[in-house]
Structures are given as C-alpha cells and as structure tokens.
Structure 1
Amino acid sequence: MTNKIALFFSVFLFAVLASFSAFAQNSQRVYQSHKLSEEKLEVMTNEGNYEIKFYNDQIVETAFIPKGEMGIGKSHAVVLETCTGSSNLIENEKSIVYTSKGISVAISKLPFNISYSYKGNELISEKNGYVKTDSTENIDFTIEKDEVLFGGGARVLGMNRRGNRLQLYNRAHYGYGTRSELMNYTMPLVISSKKYAVHFDNAPIGYLDLDSENTNTLRYESISGRKVYQIVVGDTWEDFTYEFSNLTGRQPMLPRWSFGNFSSRFGYHSQKETVETIDQFLKDSIPVDAIILDLFWFGKEMKGEMGNLAFEQDSFPNPEKMIADLDAKGVKTILITEPFVLTTSKRWDEAVKEEVLGTDSIGNPYTYDFYFGNTGLIDVFKPKAISWFWNIYKGLANKGVAGWWGDLGEPEVHPTELKHVNGSADEVHNIYGHYWAKMVFEGYQKDFPNQRPFILMRAGAVGSQRYGMVPWTGDVSRSWDGLKPQTEISLQMGLQGIPYMHSDLGGFAGDNLDDELYTRWLQYGVFQPIFRPHAQEEVPSEPVFREPKTKALAKKSIELRYQLMPYNYSIAFDNNQTGMPLMRPLFFEEQDNKELLPISDTYLWGDAFLVSTITDAGLKEKEVYMPANSVWFDFVSEKKYEGGKSYTIQTREDQLPVFVRGGSFIPMMNGMLNTRAYSLNNLELHYYHNKSIVESKGHLYNDDGETPNAFEKGQYELLNFVSETSNSKLNLALTTEMGKAFKASEKVINWVIHNIRKEPKKVFLGKKKIEFTWSKKSNTIHFRAKVGADGNQFITIKLAK
C-alpha cells in the first residue's frame, strides 16, 4: 500500500469511527481476534463469532454464530453469490474497518460495536448484537431520528411505518379497510428513506419493531433461526431496487395474456356457467384473456371437499372440452388450488398413504378443524410431497390448464404443534407460500420448459418474485375504505422486490353494490400490474353483469388496458432486467424531497405515466402534484402542466387523473379482444413533444409472449426510440435490436405526435417527404411510416415558427 493510500484509509477510518461515536455499544461482548480470508472477515468474541462478507460494493452480510452453534444455515431469500478480492481491511489497537468500494463496516474492539457507512455517510449501527431472551432472539440497531421507514411486507399503516411494532406472521385479514397491521404477506425487511435496507435473513416468526417506543431503535425479534442480516444500499432509488433484486432474484416475464383482463368471481359453479360468462364477454365485445375457477371446480359445496383436486364431474362433465373450447376463443383457464386436504375429501386416503402431510410429534398426519372442514396440510418442504402435489398440477396442465391460483397459502390455519420435515409450523410458516410457488415454478422448468407459468398466490416471502409469484392484496372490503390503501400496498411491495402486487378490482368482501366505486377501482386497475376484477358472487365482479352505464365505463377501462399492452409489457421487461417496480412512488422522481415520502395516492406507472387515484365518492376535484424537472400532459385533454407544482384537477367520470411525461414514447395498440391479436404490425406510437426537451429516449420490448427467458435466448426484438428537438425541427429515430434467434416482420408504425401547436411544414421519412395530417383541435400530427428490412426508421418534422 502506498503512503497516499495508507493516509487516505487512516483518515477515512477516523471519519467513520467518529461518525458513529454517538451510537450505543455492547458492553458484554468482548473482541478476541479476527481472521481475514479472500471471501470474508471472521471476528471472534467471547460470546461467538461474526462472519462478514460482501456480495458487491453495495451489499454486505453480517452473521453471528453463538458459541455452541455450527454454521449459519441456508438462506431462503438470497440468490446472489458473494464476491472475492474486492475488499480492504485496516486495523489499529482500537478498531477494524472492513471496506468495499462503497460500504464500510467499522468494528470497535472495546467496547465492541459494529457500524455501517456508505461512501463516508453513516447508515446504521448495532446496539447490542443478538441477545437471547426467554422466548426470542433479538437484535437492536440505532437509527437516525428523521428516517422514514418502509417495509415489513404488505400492511396498511401509511407509507411511513415508523412507530409500529409489526408481527411477522402471514395471516389473512378479511374485509380490511384503511388500517391493517397484519396481512397475508409479511417480510423481515426494513427500507430507510436514506436508500438502504436491512434484511433479516431468517424464516421463523417474530416481530419487526420500527421504533415503536420512540428511542431511535430498530429491533428484530425471532423465536429462533439464523442470526444473519444483509444491508443493501443504493445511490438512487433506482439503484437500490436494482441491487435488492440482484440479491434476492428478479421476476421472470409473465405470459403476455396475463396482462389482459380476467373473468373471476367466488365462484363459477358449473361448466355451463363458465362458458356462458365468457360468451357474454364476447357478445359485448369486452376484451378478456382468462377465466379463473374458484373452489366449485372440484366440489359442489363450499365445505367438505377441499383437497379433491379434480374436476367435479356432475358440474363439469367435460372439462377438457371446456378448456379447449375456451382456448379456441383466446381465453385461458386458471384453477384455484389450496394446500389443505380435508379428511372428507376424495384424496385423503391417498395423501395419508403417500405420507405427504405435516405430522404430529410421533409422525402421524396432523389433523385439525378450520372453516372448510377437518384437514391435513401438505408439507411443501418434503420431497415426496412435492412430487405428489406437482404431479396433480402436471396432470391438469396436460389437460390444458394455463395458470394457477394458490389460495390460503399463509397457510390460513397452521397450528404451532404441526411438524414439517424441516421444522415446526412456526419455524417455516412465513416461507410456506414461497416454497409452494417454488414447487410450481420448478415443475414448469422441468416438465413444461417452453411455457411461462402463471402463479397467483396470496402469501410469500422475501425473494418469492423469482419464482414468478403474482400476489394480491387479500380479501379487501368492497368499500371506498378498501380502495384507499391499494396503492400504498403495491408501492410498498414494489420497493421490497415484489412487483406484481395487485388487488381484487372492485373489492372482494361484502355485497356492497356501488357502481361508482366499481368504476373507480377498475380505472385504477388499468395502471396496476394485473387487471383482475374478483369478488364474492352476491354482487357480480364481471362488467358484463353490471347495469349498462357501469358496463360501458368498465369496457372503456378494459379497452384502455389492452391499448397500453405494448407499453405495459415493456415496463414488465424493464422490471425483469433491473428490478425497477412497475408502480413507483413519487419520491423516485425527486429523491431528496422529503415531502413526497408519505404520498401513495399519486404514483408513477412506469416512467411515462403519472396516475392519481379517486377513492372518495362524488369527488369533483383533486389536488395533484406534478413532479419537478418534467412537463406533464393530461392524457385526455392534452393540457400541459409544468412540474414542481400542485394543481387542482377537475375529475372526469370516465377516467382517473392521468398525465404523460413530456418526451415520452407510448407504444399502443387498438382493436384487441384478447392477446392472440397482439402484433406490432398494428402499432400506434405516441410521442409527447415539448420544445424544452432537447433529447429523449424510449423503447418497446417484444417477444412471443410465451417462451421463458426469451431475451436471454435471443428470441426478442427491442425497438429503441430517440427524439432530438431544435427550433426548426423534430427528429425521431427508431432503431431495432434483434435477438439472434428472432425473426422480425415488416412493420408500419402509426405515429401520433402530441403538442404540435402549429401545422408543420413537412414530414420526411429518410429523405422522402410523406403525407401527414395535423389536428388544430388536439394539436397532434398523424402519419404512417414503414419500418424497412433493416429495422430502422428516421423521421424529420420541419416545425412551423
């Protein structure tokens, strides 16, 4: 090490230690020695050993192994490999500093303490390390007094969850509204407004205390398990989401049909009702891509039949023909499944014989009562049970079933006394849904390698996105109070790596017939990950069964959802590649604006759209903040708004307040009744011009909508768009990146250029002048331009002064 480098690290070490001098320290734990290897730093103390390792310059893991314990066990969340050889260690008689190029871990020897900083800025510090109590194992951290805290999974607490002690136990909350402290999908994960996260990499149940006693303390409490956590930090929010999804895995691309409209209710009682429902969609020309069969597909009664896992022949006499006929109409069939096998079901004896159920203390199937009957629970951690359960899915998939709904997977009732092959119920409860999704996902990889699975589930864990899980927000109240928190839940989960959290559109619980509520909920559904109206059947969830005005408004929302399919599919691809959420909080736009941290009712849908929900009956106007450093155009009226200000927006009956960022390229498509008609030969490309935007970029991703990992296999095309503006002209370029295994077709692009206030002089495709129309009323230019064999297109619009 040169003298300059040595001097730098000495000064840096002093600065790091000084920055944490106010943090609490551990008076019981005593440093003894340390050992550095290529992949980790080991620190030995009187109470046990620490293992500290870097995954990269922005992710570090700290594990504590108490005396008498061996190793740190297996992570259920992490998929990233640790890096080697990119760290440094500096030691003096009082401290050790272990650094990557970004994160520094400062270890004070006496009194013992571990603190973390990033590029010289303090992040967080342990208070006492892991401490064992009579019932739990806890670790405390000191945090700054002004940090806003997100995380903990799906909750309804407001965006800032600081001040709450959160139970970590996946449990359904039926009919929730504007507050829910515990829901289906909990995670031992805290994200700070300082753009870092602490992930407690442990499965058993416990609590996450986000400074509930107002002492600037973050606490994790668990009944047992790994004493391991990772700290993930980003320079920006985009950088943070990239690194966190890098650590825990990224969502595979869903089949393209899953971005369409679903017909769903609790539930369709027969083959006849199922077919007639879809026929009504087709008669009304309302686009639809899938129908979901709730529990009546395997039994006539709500109770007593769960676990049959086969079509009820009286109600569904010819399911294979039904599935094939629906598929011929472009409609996929999705079946609900549950992990419970009732003692009264047709498969009970088989499940007992095959030893696929959780057991009691002496190895017998553990049975207990819950709402649907007396039951056992499939042990999704047990290889024999995985094989048995998957073979049922495989058999149904071979009959044409295209997707799966995994319900009650918290599990809904999971007695503490029940034993799994890998631990007690309480030790594995929070990862049950995670491993259920893993089973289905890996089953497809093995037996249907050319098909993307659709896996709708209510409960999971950190990292479940990598198994293609599509979670929803649970049994929400069918009320305005139920609608209000839906954006909060999805935005929070997107931050936590779960991009497809969505809601039962229209609300699920209760028989409230409110046409305005239904309309507003479906309008929100256009700009959230999955468009799936679903509810208890007393009031229909499907638009085809609503009164004419409501049906017409719902149809308009569904048609807009389909028009935006190319855009939505492209932001799904962005998420797949980078972890960037589909729904993004406003603070992604102004990263240091603390006033935006609590806002959830206005958000970004991808990079181009700003959406503000309407969650009150009869609302005539709404205050909407337009993020700074952009201009925004009303999606309907085309009115322009300067960013960095709030505006009072008059509401419309047929559309939420939705705005498009100036400089955006929005690929759209008209006329689809389902995604079988999806083709870039029918592409409409909108560009939102503003003279202040000198240059902008956009893109459209396309593949066959079915092949797993199509991008990685080279089975794709990526259309890249660029605009350049001067006083006299607007240049637009389209260039195509082609995967090595993709065969492109010739395209004609229908261009729509917005905010052109005067009729242009000329429009050129290359050097050839082409025809165009200009609308004075809407200030838009329309023209068609063919994309040649080379996949490129260059357009010049000579603007009027």
Structure 2
Amino acid sequence: MRKLFLSLLFIIAGIICLFSQNPERVYQSHSEENGIFSVTTNDGKYLFKYYSTEILETTFVPNGEETNANSHAVILQPNKVETTYKYVGNDITYGTEGLSVIVTTEPFKISYTYNDDSLISEKRGYYKSPHESMELVKDHIIADVSEKIEFNLTEEEVLYGGGSRALGMNRRWHRLPLYNRAQYGYQSYSELLNFTLPVVLSSKKYMLHFDNSTIGYLDLDSRKDNTLTYETLSGRKTYQIIAGNSWYDVVENYAELTGKQPMLPRWTLGNFSSRFGYHSQKETLETIDKFKKDEIPVDAIIIDLYWFGKEIQGTLGNFEFYRDSFPEPKQMVDVLKSQNVETTLITEPYVLKTSKHWDEAVNEDILAKDSIGNPAVFEFYFGKGGIIDIFKPKGERWFKDIYNRLSDYGVNGFWGDLGEPEELPNWVNFETGSADELHNIYGHNWAKLVYEASLESNSNRRPFVLMRAGYSGSQRYGMIPWTGDVSRSWGGLKPQPEIALQMGMQGIAYMHSDLGGFAGANLDDELYARWLQYGVFQPIFRPHADETLASEPVYRSEKAKKLANFAIQMRYRMLPYNYHLMAENHIKGRPLMRPLFFEEPNNADLLEYSDAYLWGNDILVSPVLEAGKKTQEVYFPRGSMWFDIETDEVIEGGQKKSVTLSESFIPVYARGGSFIPLAKPMQSTKSYDDGYLQLQYYHDVTVTKSQRHLYMDDGITTNTFENGAYQILDFEAKIRGSWLEIEFNANNGKNFTPRTKTIDFTIHNIEKKPKRIKINNEKVNGTYNSQYKTLTLNIDWDTNTEKKVRIKLRK
C-alpha cells in the first residue's frame, strides 16, 4: 500500500511539473495600461504587447532590472488592436480575435492559443543556470552563467529556423549556436554557418522570434524531452510570437514586423561574372569580352580583393584601387557600363596596420577599442589590425565616405565580406556594447551603412548590397546573402535548396549559392551544369569560386559552356516572372523559393521534404543533386495538374512520380491554370523590352477560373511601388460551357505611363483545333500546333483598355 501511495505521489508531482511553469514563480497581480498587459510575479514582471492581431510580444523583466525597449530587428509600431479579457477560475485570458495569452495563476503558467488552438507554452520560462559550453564554439561563447527562456513542445512538431545551416529541413533535436561564423568547404552537414538567426518556426504554423542580438544558443529539443530553450549571455528577455491561418500569413506577418526587402535593381536578376578573383583591369575586361564573344548573357562583374592590392594578406583597409593592376578604374567601369555590365567591389570591415588607412583610422578614432580604450588590435588570417566601429557615428560616417568615393567611379554595387565578423575577440568593445552583444548584428548594421551610403550617392538608384552575414530584419536594408564558402562537390550542392528555403521562411528571401561551388579543385562538368541549372530557379544567379578552377562558363569546356549557356538563357527568358516574384516579396514579404508544405500544410510527408520546391506560386522545381542520375522521383502537389515545361506532359498532382532526366535541364513544371510570362532572348537585362511578352497559359479543364498578375516598373528607380510608378497586368481565364474566355486588364499606378504591348500568347493543352477565335468580338485566326496541342495568338494590347479573347473549343 505504501508503494502504491508513493507511486501516486510521484505521478501527481509529475503532472504538476508538466502543466506548471517554474515551480518557484508565484503570481501576484495583473493590470492593463496603455495597451500593455502586465503580470507581476514574485521574481519579476511579464509585459505583453500586441503589434497586430497575429503578433504578440512577451517580455520578462526580472526583479532588479530595467525594461529595455531597444530592438535591432523590429520596426513595426504596435497597432491599437481590439482585445478581450476574461478571468475564469485560475485562468486569465487576454487576446485578440485570434491570438491570446493565457496566464494560469496557480500553478503559474504562460501559454498561447490561436483561434482557440494551443500553440506553445512556457515550461520554466525565464531562469538562469550554469552555462553549458559547446565544443563547436567553446572559444567564442564564454560564460559562467547563461539566461534562458524555456518552452514546452508537442511530440509531433517539426521545427525550422536558426538561420543558415545544413541539417535537413527538420532542425529539431539540435542545439544551435547563435554565433555567426564561416565554415570553409562545408558539404552536406554543417551545424553553424555565416548567418544565424534567433528564429524558430513550427509545423503548427507559428513563429518565435527572440528579440535579442547577444550571442547564445537555440536548443531545439536536443535532449528529446519536448523542450525548446533560448539561451543568451545577457540582454533582453523578449520574444514575439507570430501566428497566421496559413504559412504565407506567418511569413508575411514576420516581414511586417521586421521589415520588407526593397526592390532590387532589375540587373541583379541577370548573370554575374564572379571569382576569387580578378587580378587586374586587363583580366576583368578580357573576361567580359569573352562573354560577349561567346554570346553568353552577363549583367555584372564582381571584383574581389585584388582591386586594392596584389596580395591576399596585409591589404585589408586600403579601400583604394591598386594602380599597378587597375591603372584607370573609372575608364574600366565606363567601358563595362558601355557593355551593359555593372561593377561591384568587395569590401571588408577591417583596417590592418599594413594598410594605407591605418594611421588615419587611429587618428580619426574610428576603430573598436580594447578594455583600456586603445584601438583593439588582433591578428588573424589576413594580418594584424582592428575592426571599424560602425556603431560609433564617427566610424559609420568614415566608412560611408569610403563608399561614396567608390561610387564616384560609377560603381553600382558593393560586396561586404567577412561580416560575421570573421574575427572578433570577445574582449573587443564598440561604442554601444561589447563584442558578445554586437557580434551577430555587425553584418546587419554594416548592410544598413552600405545601403544608406549608396542612396547618399544616388538617392534614386536602387542599391545592391551583397553580404555574407546578418541578423533578423537585415532584408530591409536590401541585403543579398549567400550560403558561404561551400565545397565544390556533390555534397556541397545537396543542402543548397534546403538552406535557401529555410532562410526564405525567416524573412531572408535572397539567400543563394556560389553556383558551381566555391572551395576545392574539383573539375566536374556535370556538377557545374547541375548547379547552374538549379541556379535558374534561385534568387541570384552568380557562379563564383576560388582560383583553383574557373567559375565563369567562358573558361570551361565546350560542353560545360553549352549547358551553362542554356541555363543562363533560360534565366533571362524568365525575367518577367522572376521580377514579379521580387515585387511580391517587396509588397507582401513572400519568399521566392517556397517549401511544398506551404501548399499542403497538413501533409506530414512534406514537412521535411526539400527535393522539390515552388519557385513563386506556379513553377515546381526539382534540382538534380546527385551524380549520374537517369531518373528522379518528384512529388507533385495535390489540387493542380502540372505541365512539363519542355514536353507539355501533364501530371496529376497528389502523387510521387519517377521522371526521366535530361543533361540539359532539371525537371521543371508549370501549374495548370497559370500564366507564365517570358521575355525575348537577350544578352543583358538592359536590353529587356517590357513592351513584349511571350505569355504561356497552361489550360486545365479542371480549373474553371484562374487569375494571375504581373508587376512591371522601370527596374532602376527607388520606391516605384510606393510612388505609384508601376503597372500591374491582370490575366484572367474562365471556362464558360465550350468557351474559354481570357481577359487582359491593367492596373496603372498614378505615376505610370501605360504603353501598348505586343503579346505572343500561347495556350497549352488545347486538344483540338478551336472552332472559332475572337479578340474583342473580332474573328481572328491563330496558329494551332497539333503535335504539342498549343494555340498561339499575336495580340497588340493598349494597356489603357481591356482586351478579351474568346475561344470556342471542340469537344
């Protein structure tokens, strides 16, 4: 009997621990004032604040600490939302029509619901405990005690987030350091890369953003006891919980909270010539000449660190063209511009003692300091010197002036490298905080600095900011990150879609690869071609590599060059569609690359699937990530028919199917009912003619009504959408009996001048030659291809007016 009694006591104690929070935390009182709901406990105070009906911020302020409202990530101002309050039994419920917090007074507990469904609850909530070091960062994250916020997870949750990692889509069961750090030559697995984020997303369609830049960890149930823990060395105990009815709602709400990506210049959607690196002006110009001779499109060239010195080491901080190698930089940039090629220069945030600017940096007092107030000097791979204190107004201004001077040459883009930062001892101090506090936001603030300096040089020209590291919200500074120094191998290629998909979910939509791989002397034409074919359907198309092998197709074998050119030409044909994705990201915050579980959130088989993904709403892509494959299994999302864009084969959604592979392209499919706009072939985006469209409509008899949009503007000017200097074309298809009706309309911004467009309109999946075709009630003849079952019409459309196409189909 005694044993039974003790067993019951243990069970009851276990239940209390499971459903309570910190057993030492005791509720005392609560109140609401000025839109903030507060709950006082014996050891601190909870503050709850709504930014919108689907975004709630929670802050815990321990006794003896002051409220810290400083956020590096959040820019949304709290909205006044309608809230409800009720106190029933031990439960206080405070919330909006969707998202609520429930405070259980005894035993004390904090939990959250959305539409009355449970999202997550705090376990111990905030507490302190001895710091548990990780071997991976033992020399970088150093502390005796760390502060934690602990939550309960459900058994079935799949977790995403934490920034850029190569772990598989499900990041549960990992303890992830929050410490931006490069890993040279990584392959299919990497726990830590350049761009970490204090963000967790759950398959239950909610997001947690921990609003504190100090280094630490995200423990995503590494002990497999259904516990999620945020760990930090110091700083705010603040997190936002973001909910939504769909995955698109969640990511769009997060983009509202932390900022949306500005429109990039249209040329960034073209092909880049890039390597580590071009040693001279002569080599730079000769490379572009080869692109022109081989008729391979190119829009930009990126010049690595040899522009300011002959050597890799000892030259960081020169920030001036090395005239022995680049004797006439302005002339070089002008020649490139005459060839429709933009110039981007690499920069780094370090000033070495051997550089031209060391004395100036010391005298101007723009470097970070050591513990006694002297310039912090440390040694690393590139040499001995210090790091610019961009958090100090003087340091920020000094660095901005560097970019302004470089812009005077006609340079239209800047690359910020080593911005993790690559080397930053924890004893270094900046004007606004310690290295531990600011390490993870150095790249973030550097991106802001470059973005603002670019606008100072030309306020009406969109900046191009290529950066290797950043923080939550870095997208609002136009940041374009890449996946780091990946191995030039099949192992390196394999995780690239996963990394980009994860980052897109976390607000960083332009994460992309060094196409072909960066590190290693692996001359593999099949790998190179497959990487570039994947690159057609990822945000930035930029082959790049170290000097052991050429990254540019013009220096590869004839076969590799041919396959690369085919991919690059496809990239350029996709320009109207891709540009619309850019606008959709800017306006709504939607990622360009989207996991298939966005389409089917209740399909458990897709929650860890990245073998195929959506490029925008209507294109399904399945990259080839292994050598020598002849066939590949692709999952086709249910609810749509999918058209092979090369053969027009139609595949019903809701199934996995083995498809035959071609060496010339990867499997790509268009959604039934979609309008896919294509451009004429071109050698540069500068020659893009937006007065012409090759418009593909994928007719599907099961789709009785379909509507799509296409965004257009000048591709150069800042704030075109905000200023009404845009046009949105609307395409709508309806099936009415035996008639297929298609309407063209245009929504013209107040500062946009419409023009007539020529449209080569191809309708797929027309089983028989139509009986009649009318455009605005005038009978016309189209071109019917019985082999491919397509109908093509040539249409001139004054976009001030509506255009209507009616096609009488044969049964």
TM-score between both structures, scaled by the size of structure 1: 0.96
Counterpart of 2:37 (choices 34, 41, 45) is 41
Cα distance in 2 for residues equivalent to 1:282 and 1:20: 72
Describe the shift of the 1:29–1:173 C-alpha distance in structure 2 as closer, same or farther (beyond 3 A): same
Alignment of 1:118 with 2:114, yes or no, is yes
Contact 2:424 2:435 in 1 (8 A): yes
Q: 2:49 aligns with which of 42, 53, 57?
A: 53
Distance in structure 2 (CA, Å) of the matches to 1:93 and 1:629: 46
Amino acid of the residue matched to residue 146 of structure 2? T
1:748 matches 2:758: yes
Q: What pairs up with 1:341-380 in 2 under 5 angstroms?
A: 341-380=351-390
Task: Identify if the C-alpha distance between structure 1 residues 85 and 557 changes in structure 2 by more than 3 Å, giving closer, same or farther.
Answer: closer
Specify the SS of the correspondent of 1:321.
helix
In 2, Cα distance between equivalents of 1:24 and 1:776: 69
1:274 aligns with 2:270: no
- Displacement of 1:447 after TM fit? 4.1
Q: 1:77 aligns with which of 73, 78, 99?
A: 73
Whether the aligned pair in 1 keeps the contact of 2:745 and 2:799 (CA below 8 Å) is no
Q: Distance in 2 between matches of 1:441 and 1:522?
A: 28
1:91 offset after TM fit, Å?
A: 2.4
Tell me the residue number matched to 2:181: 171
Identity %: 54
Task: Give the partner amino acid of 1:121.
Answer: D
Equivalent residue number for residue 571 of structure 2 = 561
Shift, 1:727, TM fit: 4.1
Shift of residue 195 of structure 1?
A: 0.3
The residue that corresponds to 1:426 in the other structure is: 436
**CA distance in structure 2 between the partners assigned to 1:773 and 1:129 by the alignment:** 67
1:636-715 equivalent positions in 2, closer than 5 A: 636-715=646-725
Q: Aligned residue for 2:99? A: 103
- 1:93: how far off? 5.9
CA contact (8 A) 1:764 1:797 kept: yes
Amino acid at match of 1:695: K
Q: How does 1:47-446 map to 2 (within 5 A)?
A: 47-92=43-88, 94-134=90-130, 135-446=145-456
Aligned-residue offset at 1:771: 2.8
Q: How far did residue 443 of structure 1 move?
A: 2.6
- After superposition, the C-alpha distances for 1:256-278 in whole angstroms (9 at most, x for unaligned) are 00000000000000000000100
Q: Quick one: distance in 1 between partners of 2:26 and 2:579? A: 54
Shift of 1:22: 5.0
Amino acid at match of 1:118: Y
CA displacement 1:506-544 (0-9 Å, x = unmatched) = 000011100000000000000000000000122100001
Provide the residue aligned with 1:716 in structure 2: 726
Aligned match of 1:551: 561
Deviation at 1:681, TM superposition (A): 1.8
* 2:136 aligned partner: none
Counterpart secondary structure, 2:125: coil
1:465 matched to which residue of 2?
475
**Mean CA deviation greater in 284-293 or 120-129:** 120-129
1:572 equivalent in structure 2: 582
2:484 aligned residue: 474
Shift, 1:133, TM fit = 2.5
- AA of the residue aligned to 2:468: R
Q: Is the 8 A contact 2:51 2:78 kept in 1?
A: yes
Question: Among residues 478, 491, 494, which one is paired with 1:484 in the alignment?
Answer: 494
Return the letter of the residue paired with 1:481: G
Change (3 A) 1:85 1:727: closer
Cα distance in 2 for partners of 1:703, 1:275 equals: 31
Q: Letter of the aligned partner of 1:44 in structure 2?
A: T
**Segment of structure 1 superposing worse, 61-70 or 603-612:** 61-70
Displacement of 1:20 after TM fit?
11
Other structure's SS at 2:763 match: strand
Partner of 2:791: 781
In the aligned structure 1, how far is the partner of 2:701 from the partner of 2:82?
Answer: 46
CA shift, 1:449, in A, is: 1.5
Deviation at 1:184, TM superposition (A): 0.3
Letter in 2 for 1:612: S
Verify the 8 A CA contact 1:24 1:142 in the aligned structure 2. Answer: no
> Match of 2:191, SS?
coil
- Of the candidates 500, 505, 515, which is equivalent to residue 525 of structure 2? 515
Deviation at 1:92, TM superposition (A): 4.6
SS in 1 for 2:373: coil
Unaligned runs of at least 5 residues, structure 2: 1-14, 131-144
Q: Write out per-residue CA displacement over residues 613-641 of structure 1, whole angstroms, 9 at most, x where no aligned residue.
A: 11111100011111000000111011000
- SS of residue matched to 1:71: coil
For the residues of structure 2 that align with 1:589 and 1:71, how far apart are their CA atoms? 41
Q: Deviations along 1:768-789, whole A, 9 cap, x unmatched?
A: 1223111112111112111125
How much has 1:565 moved relative to structure 2?
A: 0.1
Q: SS of the counterpart of 2:491?
A: helix
Matches within 5 A, 1:10-21: none
- Asked if residue 525 in structure 1 is aligned to residue 535 in structure 2, the reply is yes
Counterpart among 749, 762, 769 of residue 779 in structure 2 = 769
Distance in 2 (CA, whole Å) between partners of 1:796 and 1:440 is 52
CA contact (8 A) 1:72 1:227 kept: no
2:501 alignment partner AA: L
**2:700 is paired with a residue of what secondary structure?**
coil
Tell me whether 231-240 or 524-533 shows the greater mean CA deviation. Answer: 231-240
* Structure 1: runs of 5+ lacking an equivalent: 1-18
Contact 1:622 1:648 survives alignment (8 Å): yes
Give the residue type in structure 1 aligned to 2:641. Answer: V
Contact between 1:263 and 1:542, CA under 8 Å: does it hold in 2? yes
| Superposition deviation, residue 461 in structure 1 | 0.5
- Cα deviation for residue 442 of structure 1 reads 2.3
CA contact (8 A) 2:271 2:542 kept: yes
- Counterpart amino acid of residue 117 in structure 2: N
1:501 aligns with 2:497: no
**Cα distance in structure 2, aligned partners of 1:20 and 1:121:** 22
Query: Quick one: which amino acid aligns to residue 472 of structure 2?
Result: V
C-alpha distance in 1, partners of 2:544/2:153?
41
SS of 1:157 mapped into structure 2: coil
1:332 touches 1:401 (CA, 8 Å); kept in 2? yes
**How far has the Cα of 1:549 moved from its partner?**
1.1
Q: Which amino acid aligns with 2:585?
A: N
| Alpha-carbon distance in 2 for matches of 1:93, 1:21 | 20
The match for 1:625 is: 635
Aligned-partner SS, 1:740? coil
- SS of the counterpart of 1:473? coil
CA positional deviation for 1:24: 3.5
CA deviations 1:141-184 (Å, max 9, x no partner) are 00101100000000011100100000110000110001000000
Question: For 2:89 and 2:457, how far apart are their aligned partners in 1?
Answer: 59
The 1:615–1:789 alpha-carbon spacing in structure 2 relative to 1, beyond 3 Å, is closer
> TM-score, normalization: structure 2?
0.95
The separation in 1 between residues aligned to 2:470 and 2:171, in whole angstroms, is 20
Q: How far apart in 1 are the matches of 2:524 and 2:414?
A: 30
Q: Work out the CA distance in 1 between the residues paired with 2:262 and 2:19.
A: 41
Between Structure 1 and Structure 2, how many residues are aligned?
783
Q: How far apart are residue 446 of structure 1 and its match?
A: 4.0
Q: CA RMSD in A?
A: 1.3
Contact 1:52 1:63 in 2 (8 A): yes
Q: Equivalents in 2 of 1:666, 1:85: separation in Å?
A: 39
Question: Cα deviations across residues 692-749 of structure 1 (Å, max 9, x unaligned)?
Answer: 1101111111101011110110101110110012342211111011111111221111
